[in-house]
Amino acid sequence: MKTAGKILACAVAASFLSWACGARAEHKPKDEDCLVCHSDPTLTKDVNGKQVSLRVDPDKMKHSIHGSMFSCVDCHKDVKTSPHDATPAKVTCAGCHADSQEAYSHGLHAKSTKPGGAPFANCEDCHGGVHQILAADDPKSPVNHANIPATCGRCHGQKFLMESNGQSAQPFTSYQESVHGRAVAKGSSKAAVCTDCHGSHEILAANDSKSPIYKFNVPNTCGKCHGQVQQTFMQSIHGQGITRGNGLAPVCTDCHGIHSIKAHIDPNSSVSEQNLARTTCARCHEGVRLSQEFGIKGNPVSTYFDSYHGLASQGGSTVAANCASCHGVHNILPSSDSHSTINRANLDKTCGKCHTGATQKFTMTRVHMDGVRPGDIDSIAVRWIRLIYLALIILVIGAMFLHNAIIWRSKAVARRAMKNPMMVRMTTNQRWQHLFLLTSFIILVITGFALKFPNSWFAEALGMGEKLRSIIHRVAGVVLIGAGIYHVFYLIVTREGRRLIRDFAPGPKDAFDAIGTMLYYLGLSRKKPQFGRFNYAEKAEYWALVWGTGLMAVTGIMLWAKVWVGNLFARWWIDVATSIHFYEAILATLAIVVWHFYQVFLDPDVYPMNWAWWDGKMTVEHYREEHGLDTESLAEAERNAAESAVEPGTSKPGAEPPKE
């Protein structure tokens, strides 16, 4: 009602003006006639439940590109009287800008529509409204070169808006951080903006052959600014491939990126020294596709990294040669081309850039050493040297190992024979349990990590396929689980098992023993803690073993029966089980190496090895030193020693002979 009242007031005012002139205006209204109503800031129109202002700012209209050229009715052609009798039709720009309208109608902006059928972007969305459109060379114009990124970013920088149309806002974010985006932000009038690459009105999809960003059109698009580079590139092997229509040949965006183009000195750039070989060139040249299609060898990147240049580069060198250092940047040509930097006649100059004084003789070898070629003396020589040295290493180091092993065994046996009387530390049953646990654990570690790290030395040493590896891993897992189940049965049923679980039970004393041991060996206490049958370290290791075995068994079974588990619970349970299985394996392996192997091999008191795992025995003297509170075991050992010494040189049937 309020809006209707204002329209009525405008009508009355217009009628009065017409009457004052002697008659109702039958000619086209002038701008000032329109502004009688449309200069009112409260004049609105209901559009889908929202009040849209119908006000026209006279100053903005006057300074717009249309202000000095047209009147209101030049665009609103259906308005014949003031006030108008009916709602004017929506203005179209096609009347004056037919070419631009035609181009726009073929573009993505016209074809991509919002819910309801309206295009995602129309003329006024980009050019800055309806009545205040400014010329492109006006610094305030949304389509001014400096303002184009911000104008496009109003839509393309909004994450949820772009995702609603099945696209991403990341390209706009990447452009802002690119060398182009940063240059524009600093005021450059030459750096590329969105319209330089995508076009202005006829913006087409990248898979449209007419699009400036269609792969085969990219060199020409980039060449608008980088003309000299484009000319050089089109003469290169890559440019020749594009000219022939080879879609596997790279163009500018394949190496430099699309929106995220950065300077080559930027460490995050795909063409920086750090990334060129490993990521950019390797995407095409480290594989078999080019070999199968075009006969280009497929492993130059790996052979490069095996060379001094590659090793030095991985070590952080900023002067070691990379792919571009030898092959060129945009002027890459095959070695058979006389203009190529790697042509035999040009190698002395290419190598001489780094190796001053290099001659033709210096260059008479291959850089990418990847096997033997007929008549290639250097690769033949390297191959024979490799074979000779591998045989030499096996023979010499093998003989050294055998020599030392024989001496070590003899000395170890003699040293053990000189010890005090022995006592039983592990029964035969316990040693067999330990052996099954030890064997299955080692096999599980090797075969498990061989899957996670297929290029590791131990994976290559196994020399087995995935099927055999998985079978061995699962068999070892079954053995480990079986050993665990048997151990539980052993603890419940046997007398020794029940005693074992009592002696392994943790208590408050263990915490004080751990602190006291550290104080003693740090020299802060003169009193060494005394332990029972098992000290705090052995108890901690035992219960960690119980926990780890159970956890690995459960997660291993889940991974073995992944389909059943995934259907019963959810697929993410398998991912959780995989993560636990992997990291628990790392924890267990390191615990064995750092904690258990110290107790068995590295502790000076048991050097060269604690033999209890083999024959179950240790000296009474050592046991009394380490487990002095276990009076029961010590008393039993003394009884056995007394019974075995009935007469000098004799022993009771079945008793162990005395040890000196």
520/512 Cα distance (integer angstroms)? 12
Residue 366 lies in a domain: yes
Main-chain dihedrals φ then ψ at residue 119, nearest 5 degrees? -65, 155
The DSSP bridge partners found for residue 423 are 618
Query: Residue 42: is its pLDDT beyond 50?
Result: yes
Instruction: Using the structure block, give the residue that is written with the tokens 């064995």.
Output: 592
Identify the band that residue 111 occupies on the pLDDT scale cut at 50, 70 and 90. confident
pTM score of the predicted model: 0.66
Residue 155 lies in a domain: no
Q: Are 603 and 597 in contact (CB under 8 A)?
A: no
User: Are 412 and 433 found together in one domain?
Assistant: no
Consecutive H or E run containing 423:
strand 422-424
Query: Residue 2: is its pLDDT beyond 50?
Result: no
Identify the band that residue 410 occupies on the pLDDT scale cut at 50, 70 and 90. confident
272: left (phi over 0), alpha (psi -120 to 50) or beta: beta
User: Which domain covers residue 436, as residue numbers?
Assistant: 420-644
Lowest mean pLDDT among 11-25, 259-273, 524-538: 11-25
3-state SS of the chain: helix, strand, coil percent to 5? Answer: 60, 0, 40
Looking at 91, 125, 142, the residue that finishes a domain is: 91
584/480 Cα distance (integer angstroms)? 15
**Which residue type, as a one-letter code, is found at position 117?**
G
**Residue with the larger pLDDT of the pair 648 and 75:** 75
User: Are 344 and 407 found together in one domain?
Assistant: no
Q: What is residue 545's predicted lDDT score, i.e. its pLDDT?
A: 93
User: Are 594 and 463 found together in one domain?
Assistant: yes
Q: What is residue 604's predicted lDDT score, i.e. its pLDDT?
A: 84
Identify the band that residue 457 occupies on the pLDDT scale cut at 50, 70 and 90. confident
Residue 609 lies in a domain: yes
Summarised one tens digit per residue, pLDDT across range 165-200 is: 888 999 999 999 999 999 999 999 999 999 999 999
280/262 Cα distance (integer angstroms)? 13
Residue 437 lies in a domain: yes
User: Are 401 and 338 found together in one domain?
Assistant: no
Summarised one tens digit per residue, pLDDT across range 332-361 is: 999 899 999 999 899 989 998 988 888 888
Q: Which long-range contacts (CB under 8 A, 24 or more apart) does 13-20 make?
A: 14/82, 14/83
User: Are 432 and 358 found together in one domain?
Assistant: no
Which of 51-55, 90-94, 105-109, 130-134 has the highest mean predicted lDDT (pLDDT)? 105-109
User: Are 460 and 551 found together in one domain?
Assistant: yes
Summarised one tens digit per residue, pLDDT across range 463-472 is: 778 888 889 9
User: Are 435 and 365 found together in one domain?
Assistant: no
User: Are 469 and 325 found together in one domain?
Assistant: no
Q: What is residue 658's predicted lDDT score, i.e. its pLDDT?
A: 43
2/112 Cα distance (integer angstroms)? 37
Helical axes 571-591 vs 536-560, angle rounded to 10°: 150
- Cα torsion angle, 198, 199, 205, 208, sign: negative
> Encoding tokens for residue 370?
């990847």
Identify the band that residue 626 occupies on the pLDDT scale cut at 50, 70 and 90. confident
User: Are 540 and 600 found together in one domain?
Assistant: yes
Residue 236 lies in a domain: no
User: Are 326 and 393 found together in one domain?
Assistant: no
User: Are 561 and 501 found together in one domain?
Assistant: yes
183/274 Cα distance (integer angstroms)? 24
User: Are 494 and 633 found together in one domain?
Assistant: yes
Residue 449 lies in a domain: yes
380/359 Cα distance (integer angstroms)? 23
Residue 268 lies in a domain: no
Main-chain dihedrals φ then ψ at residue 147, nearest 5 degrees? -100, -5
36/13 Cα distance (integer angstroms)? 8
The DSSP bridge partners found for residue 44 are 53
Residue 327 lies in a domain: yes
Query: What does the DSSP 8-state code read for residue 357?
Result: T
- Could you give the number of structural domains in the chain? 4
Q: What is residue 589's predicted lDDT score, i.e. its pLDDT?
A: 93
